[in-house]
Amino acid sequence: MTWLDGKVAFITGIGKGQGRSHAVRLAREGADIIGIDALKTYPWMNYRLAERADVEETIRLVQAEGRRCFFAQADVTDLGSLQRALAAGVAELGRLDVVAANAGAFPKGALTWEADPAAWRECIEVNLMGVFHTVHAAVPHMLAAGNGGSIIITSSGAAIVSGSYLGDYSAAKAALLSLTRTLAVELAPHWIRVNALCPGAVNTDMIANDALYRMFRPDLEAPTREDTIEVWKSKHLLPVPWLQPSDISNAVAWLASDEARLVTGVTLPVDAGNTIKYV
């Protein structure tokens, strides 16, 4: 027996990075997967979000675990497309037990009073409204089934630790912590648990890009990934430069399972001690 035998998990932003890792891990635990991805990169980002080939690789990896994977292209900022995609997935796979509200986007960064208002608004739309839309689409299916379940919201260490240049992202991620607590109260009578994860720096394209290398090492003309290792390490209590997507997926799998059946309304940092070092 594995933790999620016979269950179905809905994951947003499934194409690559943490979303792909969550899909594979939950499939390994026995869950069939409903996944969506916008297949879209915003001009206010420094890195590329998923494309069709990325999604095809995620589907292959889930199927290699012996589980089914339903995918539909949908954007978390578009409630209608999200609802249609999820309804089709539930119709095909039969139920909904777990929601991993993972989709998000990391901006280039600017001082708050110098930020572009349109980019700021869009960042909030993706990172905050996108989670609201995800929950809005998913909860009715969970209530109709009457099986309880687990919702895991991906916030960020940036919701806990303050810094410069990411006012839009940090504000959205901090709001998710409040939303998590509200949902935990609202859904507890239905045995639906709601928790928030606050990942630290995870080894994905979000932190592995030239713009971030330059931000961390402005003293170098063309810094590389290796040039940033000691800077990253200095931010953690545990002596690692960054986390792996699987480190976050391990927490998702636990929160999704009955091993955490009485855990709800919590904010769980998975960050090698970053937030406790600075709080």
Which amino acids are annotated catalytic? 169
Contact 100, 152 (CB under 8 A): yes
Name the residue type at position 36: I
CA distances from 76 to 109, 159, 161 (A): 22, 20, 26
- Compute the distance between CA of residue 187 and CA of residue 151 in angstroms, rounded to an integer: 10
User: Tokens 């929160």 identify what position?
Assistant: 255
Residue 268: DSSP 8-state: E
User: Tokens 């949902």 identify what position?
Assistant: 183
* Structure-derived torsion over alpha carbons of residues 158, 161, 162, 165, reported in degrees to the nearest 10: -30
